[in-house]
Chain A
Amino acid sequence: MNKLIKIGLPSKGRLKDESLKFFKKNNLLIKDSKRNYLSEIKNFKLNEVVFSHAREIVERLADNSLDVGISGYDLLKESLPGIKKNIKVFSRLNFGFADLIVAVPDAWIDVQTIADLEEISFEFKDKNIGKLRIATKYPNLTNDFLLSKGLTQYKIVNSLGSTEIYPFTNQSEIITDITSSGETLKANNLRILKDGDILSSSACILVSKKSLGDKNKKNIIINLLKKLKNK
């Protein structure tokens, strides 16, 4: 009978700090060690805290090697349908706010909307210079959004970081990226399209649906979730 519940928390950055703060505000004390990726909530039942990459937390919740976790709403939505269907969003949290947006070079003054972008994409196609390239860390959300807005003639360039410089280093023409203040975009001479908001994201508490169906764990998880309140 396994009653140990596993909790996934982001392993670095602001999301990690805010997550630990959030647990602390709810009187759940987690010992943080910069080097050790395993810890526990000291004043709660049998549990294990695993510090992982935020993207990995989503995947581990889906395959049930984690029971509860904090990750970005954007990362959950970006996942494949087979992953999403195994995860329940318990609540959106008051931190980790960011928007996934479509941005074009500032100097593309003739492009205000996705409809303009669609025309540009056909210019690329008609001139036989390849497809309009869009750099992103979020290919699935980007595809769903752009196709729903009528843009079809483009090619996704998968980016792992520094996406903002892609249009100026001939790696793509435009980007979709996550932004909280828009400052980095501005500093890199990019601007958000008028109708280019793909998704508003924040940190959220996610639960593995399989764990909720496990009678040994269900009550412990519900107990934990009751303690985790947005303050």
Chain B
Amino acid sequence: MKSKKYSEALLNLFKKKGFKVKEFENIIESQIIIERSGEIFKKSLLSFEDDNGKNFSLRPDLTISACLDYIKNIKRGVYKYAYFDQAYRRTFGKGSLVRNQLGCEIIGSSNLQLNQEIINLIDQSLQKVIRDKTTIKINDINIFYSLVDSLKLPSRWRLRLKRHFWRPDYFNELISRLESNSDLQKNVFELDKKSYFKMKKLKQNNKIAGRQINEILKRFEKKLEEPRSNIKGVRVAKIIRDFLKIKCSFKNAENELKKFEFKNKINLKLKQFDVFDLKLKNNKAIFSTNIGRSAEYYTGLVFEIYKKSKNLNLASGGRYDNLMQSLGSKKKIAAIGGAINYDNILKL
């Protein structure tokens, strides 16, 4: 009953703001997910084969379902989705295969107004339903990318750090490796140099296991050109760790970041970020550089909402401007959304 009361109240509040409550298809083609996320997500799909050997899965996530619905049925313009339904994933013995998911998405626009609309809507709706104050944490993960670009690092390392920002445990491992320079093995490298000269004499556009010889040699040359010293690695690792500790009131965010720039003699190019212009109704907003690291698909603004008195996560979301394309849209379609942490709401 409690569950129904909360879900109905939230969906009604979303509906009042022009969101359309949608039901999605239960089954999706597994290939769509695998092409996007590789094996990491495939592992958690509850999938099966049909008589033709085609693989299907129970829908694993309703944000993905909303995106697929937009691609198939809506196709253009701004569409505001709201939903409360079940999603299904393997949990490897931890928890239920069925998850209730309640959320809303705005697909089809990158307008800053929509960023604040969705954050304010979810936040204010939650406050009404739980009858308590909330705290919002805000971040724009592009500021981290800008930090990485400003550091003296081989380009390979820049990409690596950006790609794995959303996997905190592995990211920490990377930072440790950056400090110790442990990813190079000199004796093997010398042996490979001999092969390099041999391969130079071969036809450069011949392929070996899917890669052209000139590609392999080019990347090898790049590795030779980009050695980095341990000393620099230690400094860079410290800057990154310090950056990820920045946590302040949202109003002071720009100033705090400027101080950080000055202290570390770097340029974060803060003028390009519109996150600081967000007009939030909640005056207890916090800026934290360490949030938004739970989903690979976020591309910019991210937020988390907590019940203030218990520090309990109630919702999280963010902008995902590349997801539509990776799910099969022919053009780039911007989107933002948020999911209510329904299990935590029921604990209240």
A pairs with B: yes
Given A112-B188, A147-B40, 19 more A-B residue pairs with CB atoms under 8 Å apart are: A81-B93, A104-B209, A105-B209, A106-B195, A109-B217, A109-B220, A110-B217, A110-B219, A112-B183, A112-B192, A113-B185, A122-B159, A143-B39, A147-B39, A150-B164, A150-B174, A155-B38, A168-B209, A173-B211
Residues of chain A at the chain B interface (Cβ within 8 Å): 81-82, 104-110, 112-113, 115, 118-124, 129-133, 143, 146-150, 152-156, 167-168, 170, 172-174, 194
What sequence of 0s and 1s flags, for each residue 73-114 of chain B, a beta carbon within 8 Å of any chain A beta carbon?
000000000000000000011000000000000000000000
Specify which chain B residues have a CB less than 8 angstroms from the CB of A120 in the assembled complex: 211
Point out the residues of chain A lying under 8 angstroms from B273, CB to CB: none
Given A81-B92, A118-B160, A119-B159, CB of A152 within 8 Å of CB of B38: yes
Interface string of B180-221 (1 = CB under 8 A from A): 000111001100100110010000000011110101110110
Given known contacts A110-B216, A115-B183, A122-B159, is B40 in contact with A105 (CB within 8 Å)? Answer: no
B38 near A154 (CB under 8 angstroms)? yes
- A152 touching B40, Cβ below 8 Å: yes
Please, how many angstroms separate the alpha-carbon atoms of A129 and B207 in the complex? Answer: 14
A154 touches B39 (CB 8 A): yes
Bound Cα distance A82, B93 (Å):
8
Q: How far is the CA of A110 from the CA of B163 in the complex (A)?
A: 20
Pair A173/B184 contact, Cβ less than 8 Å: no
Is residue B156 within 8 Å, beta carbon to beta carbon, of the partner chain? yes
Contacts of B93 in A (CB 8 A): 81-82
Contacts of A155 in B (CB 8 A): 34, 38-39
19 CB-based A-B contacts, threshold 8 Å: A107-B195, A107-B213, A108-B211, A109-B192, A109-B196, A109-B199, A110-B192, A112-B184, A112-B188, A113-B183, A122-B159, A130-B35, A131-B35, A133-B210, A143-B39, A147-B39, A150-B167, A150-B173, A155-B38
C-alpha spacing A123/B222, complex, angstroms: 14
Q: Tell me, rounded to whole Å, the shortest Cβ–Cβ distance linking A87 to chain B.
A: 15
State how many angstroms separate the Cβ of B208 from the closest Cβ of chain A. 4
B163 to chain A, nearest CB (A): 7
Contact of B185 among A82, A130, A194 (CB under 8 A): A194
Point out the residues of chain B lying under 8 angstroms from A118, CB to CB. 160, 163
Residue from B37, B170, B216 in contact with A108 in the complex, judged by beta carbons closer than 8 Å: B216
The distance from the CB of A108 to the nearest CB of chain B, in whole angstroms, is: 6
B39 and A146 contacting across the interface, CB-CB below 8 Å: yes
A110 CA to B226 CA, complexed, in Å: 13
Q: Does B269 contact A (CB under 8 A)?
A: no
Among A123, A130, A143, contact of B43 (Cβ-Cβ < 8 Å): A143
Most chain A CB inside 10 Å of its own CB: which residue of B160, B170, B209: B209
Cα–Cα distance between A31 and B184 once the two chains are bound (Å): 54
CB–CB B38/A108 < 8 A: no
B279 at the interface (CB under 8 A from A): no
Chain B residue with the shortest CB-CB distance to A148:
B170
Minimal beta-carbon separation of B216 from chain A (angstroms): 5
Give bound CA distance, A106 to B213, whole Å: 12
